[in-house]
Amino acid sequence: MTKQRILFDTDPGVDDALALLYLHRHPNIELLGITTVFGNASISVTTRNARFLAEAWGIKAPVHAGAPVPLNWSGAPHPYPVHVHGANGLGDYPIAQEAREEKDTAARFIVDTVRQNPRQVR
Protein backbone atom coordinates (compact mmCIF):
# COMPACT_ATOMS: atom_id res chain seq x y z
CA MET A 1 0.00 0.00 0.00
CA THR A 2 1.25 3.49 -0.87
CA LYS A 3 1.71 5.79 2.07
CA GLN A 4 -0.54 8.83 2.35
CA ARG A 5 1.57 11.99 2.21
CA ILE A 6 0.27 14.44 4.79
CA LEU A 7 0.78 18.09 5.68
CA PHE A 8 -0.59 18.63 9.19
CA ASP A 9 -1.93 22.12 9.85
CA THR A 10 -2.41 22.44 13.58
CA ASP A 11 -2.65 24.62 16.68
CA PRO A 12 -1.09 22.18 19.12
CA GLY A 13 -2.99 22.06 22.27
CA VAL A 14 -3.49 18.73 24.00
CA ASP A 15 -5.92 17.44 21.35
CA ASP A 16 -3.70 18.12 18.34
CA ALA A 17 -0.67 16.76 20.20
CA LEU A 18 -2.37 13.37 20.26
CA ALA A 19 -3.33 13.68 16.58
CA LEU A 20 0.29 14.49 15.71
CA LEU A 21 1.50 11.40 17.54
CA TYR A 22 -1.04 9.23 15.68
CA LEU A 23 0.09 10.65 12.32
CA HIS A 24 3.75 10.11 13.19
CA ARG A 25 3.26 6.51 14.32
CA HIS A 26 0.82 5.38 11.62
CA PRO A 27 2.59 2.96 9.25
CA ASN A 28 0.70 4.18 6.16
CA ILE A 29 1.35 7.89 6.63
CA GLU A 30 4.34 9.96 5.56
CA LEU A 31 4.29 13.24 7.46
CA LEU A 32 5.77 15.83 5.08
CA GLY A 33 5.46 18.83 7.35
CA ILE A 34 3.75 20.53 10.25
CA THR A 35 2.28 24.00 9.86
CA THR A 36 0.87 25.96 12.76
CA VAL A 37 -1.82 28.56 13.36
CA PHE A 38 -3.10 30.41 16.40
CA GLY A 39 -6.11 28.88 18.10
CA ASN A 40 -5.57 27.00 21.32
CA ALA A 41 -2.80 29.54 22.02
CA SER A 42 -0.89 32.27 20.20
CA ILE A 43 1.11 31.44 17.06
CA SER A 44 4.39 31.69 18.96
CA VAL A 45 3.14 29.19 21.55
CA THR A 46 1.56 26.73 19.07
CA THR A 47 4.70 26.75 16.93
CA ARG A 48 6.89 26.24 19.99
CA ASN A 49 4.60 23.36 21.01
CA ALA A 50 4.82 21.75 17.56
CA ARG A 51 8.63 21.96 17.64
CA PHE A 52 8.72 20.61 21.19
CA LEU A 53 6.51 17.63 20.27
CA ALA A 54 8.43 16.92 17.06
CA GLU A 55 11.71 16.87 18.95
CA ALA A 56 10.31 14.79 21.83
CA TRP A 57 8.87 12.17 19.48
CA GLY A 58 11.65 12.11 16.90
CA ILE A 59 9.53 13.58 14.11
CA LYS A 60 11.76 14.69 11.24
CA ALA A 61 9.10 16.72 9.41
CA PRO A 62 9.79 20.47 9.36
CA VAL A 63 7.65 22.89 11.38
CA HIS A 64 6.53 26.21 9.86
CA ALA A 65 4.58 29.00 11.55
CA GLY A 66 1.42 30.20 9.89
CA ALA A 67 -1.28 32.75 10.50
CA PRO A 68 -1.15 34.68 13.78
CA VAL A 69 -4.75 35.95 13.44
CA PRO A 70 -7.88 35.02 11.44
CA LEU A 71 -8.11 36.30 7.88
CA ASN A 72 -11.21 38.30 8.86
CA TRP A 73 -9.64 39.63 12.06
CA SER A 74 -11.26 42.77 13.42
CA GLY A 75 -8.57 43.53 15.97
CA ALA A 76 -10.63 42.27 18.92
CA PRO A 77 -8.63 40.15 21.37
CA HIS A 78 -8.87 36.41 20.95
CA PRO A 79 -9.46 34.56 24.23
CA TYR A 80 -7.43 31.36 24.29
CA PRO A 81 -9.07 28.34 25.97
CA VAL A 82 -6.67 28.16 28.92
CA HIS A 83 -9.33 26.32 30.92
CA VAL A 84 -8.90 23.41 28.47
CA HIS A 85 -5.30 23.62 27.21
CA GLY A 86 -3.59 25.45 30.07
CA ALA A 87 -1.53 28.61 29.82
CA ASN A 88 1.11 26.94 27.61
CA GLY A 89 -1.33 25.15 25.31
CA LEU A 90 -0.20 21.67 26.39
CA GLY A 91 -2.05 21.33 29.67
CA ASP A 92 0.75 23.20 31.47
CA TYR A 93 3.15 20.31 30.87
CA PRO A 94 6.59 21.77 31.61
CA ILE A 95 8.36 22.93 28.44
CA ALA A 96 11.88 24.33 28.77
CA GLN A 97 11.81 26.19 25.45
CA GLU A 98 10.51 29.75 25.41
CA ALA A 99 7.91 30.78 22.85
CA ARG A 100 9.32 33.29 20.37
CA GLU A 101 8.04 35.45 17.57
CA GLU A 102 7.83 33.50 14.32
CA LYS A 103 7.84 34.60 10.71
CA ASP A 104 4.85 33.29 8.74
CA THR A 105 6.44 30.66 6.48
CA ALA A 106 3.66 28.05 6.39
CA ALA A 107 1.87 29.29 3.27
CA ARG A 108 5.05 29.21 1.16
CA PHE A 109 5.97 25.78 2.57
CA ILE A 110 2.54 24.37 1.72
CA VAL A 111 2.63 25.71 -1.85
CA ASP A 112 6.18 24.44 -2.43
CA THR A 113 5.43 21.00 -0.97
CA VAL A 114 2.26 20.53 -3.02
CA ARG A 115 4.07 21.59 -6.20
CA GLN A 116 6.89 19.12 -5.48
CA ASN A 117 4.36 16.32 -4.88
CA PRO A 118 1.56 16.83 -7.44
CA ARG A 119 -1.66 14.97 -6.61
CA GLN A 120 0.03 13.24 -3.68
CA VAL A 121 -0.41 15.52 -0.65
CA ARG A 122 -3.45 15.49 1.58
**For the whole model, what pTM was predicted?**
0.88
Would you tell me how many other CB atoms lie within 10 Å of the CB of residue 98? 8
pLDDT tens by residue, 51-98: 999 999 999 999 999 988 877 777 766 778 888 888 888 888 989 888
Cα(4)–Cα(30) distance, integer angstroms: 6
How many structural domains are present in the chain?
Answer: 1
Compute the average pLDDT of residues 107-122: 89
Question: Is 122 a domain residue?
Answer: no
pLDDT tens by residue, 6-50: 999 999 988 999 999 999 999 999 999 999 998 888 899 999 999
Question: Is 14 a domain residue?
Answer: yes
pLDDT at 16: 93
Domain range for residue 99?
Answer: 4-71+80-116
Any bridge partners for residue 91, and if so which? none
Cα(8)–Cα(25) distance, integer angstroms: 14
Question: Is 107 a domain residue?
Answer: yes
Compute CA 42 distance to the chain's CA centroid, rounded to the nearest angstrom.
12
Question: Is 16 a domain residue?
Answer: yes
